[in-house]
Chain A
């Protein structure tokens, strides 16, 4: 839980921009840009889990990749460090990044593509430790041993190749690789989306357990709002490259202040036939981030859109305790969330 909200953030994203150029023609001239992430700001407190949700193409994965610096952002700042040593990762050269590559790790979505099929489990987990000169020889072996046991794998299988493991087990290997460097922040990009329902819960519980044991901070990126509710302390909602709402999990789910959040929540199929709710079905498709609509990007699909939404871009503002939303009518609208479940 984010008890220490008064403390310093571990990570502060400030006006982050990631624009991918669109090139056309033989000369590859730049004719426009896909604004995958456009002016996004938020912070993550040490030890908390921030859920980042949105539909495909909203830029949530791009943000994750900017934070681990798989991409170099085209604008803005990524300030890292809970103490005063705060460094702007967005500006660091590759050669100076190595120290942060230890502290910020990533868990990938696809347990098949993210493990090199030509390396044994031992090498996959040991490689980051070798690169950072953390351990070698028998000490390295011991550490891999411990790590595998921590993620629920049998250490005697460390000489096996990834093809010997099921999807859930591979995801555990990926988690062990992320933990190998004793990170502070773990970016989990759709970490359970590719797994079977019954295995998904295993991995979610493992992540919770590890967070407790190692005081990890998670940025949990997902399109699945029910999984995010289970894991996250706070949730940020994105739409077409912009942050539209952010609040503590219960607040956001019970009391959404942005029509898009409301629609997202109402669209989740609930596995309980007695709770079939009236669904808000949005018209049309997610806007094209290369050619977004005027004003509020959501206005063409918004059931509450007014003239002002067409012309004026809403900015994020505080609409409640620790609750921010980017909607002109956030205070006026009567939006429905998910009522707390009574058992």
Chain B
């Protein structure tokens, strides 16, 4: 008995035990192939087409499409909008997540639901709300006109619409993590004599830094790429209220395909960079989590 290795008694060879399903290799390969083909057809091909179309007129045409004044202005506007709305939503997201995860107060569920609102409302409706509120014939329109404040069909409207649409990203990323981490670390810091602000800065914030960065990345990608809501409030004034996505549409409608795709390729690159950064962070931050104790 004793000379029989224990492993020989195992009912299955290890390879079979490792797999939880029992499909034949043929089925598995076929399924993988279907999935990959699907991805290639619907995700990869369009992306490749964007770049192919953009470069169809040669590199010179591509570059000139990106450097003509309207395009530059659209790039600038897009960067400006992101530069305002991303930090705004980062601060809001942090504050909201901190309040929801670490404190108990009346109306907590209402706040949690409200944060999700922009996800459930169509962006076009979001844009329309601002037009109805701030537009010439809107609720606050006459008052704004009297005081010479332009919101709709101007930069402030675009910023507002973008803030609305990208509001949940950071908060949604932080709330579950903060809830899982609980409040023991904060209590430890407070009992050791740290002030509330020191506790937040030295304990709470470092504990969520990777999730925060991840949320900001997603928020930024959406802020730069948002079309629907921005389209409604922008008024498509070339060189003034056109963001990159709107500029693509304008060029496309003018049958200026090379320029349209050239500008679109910028947005596509942004998406790719975001994806790469995101996978890197997930790998890195997933690892950091895994190496820590699950408390």
User: Do A and B bind?
Assistant: no
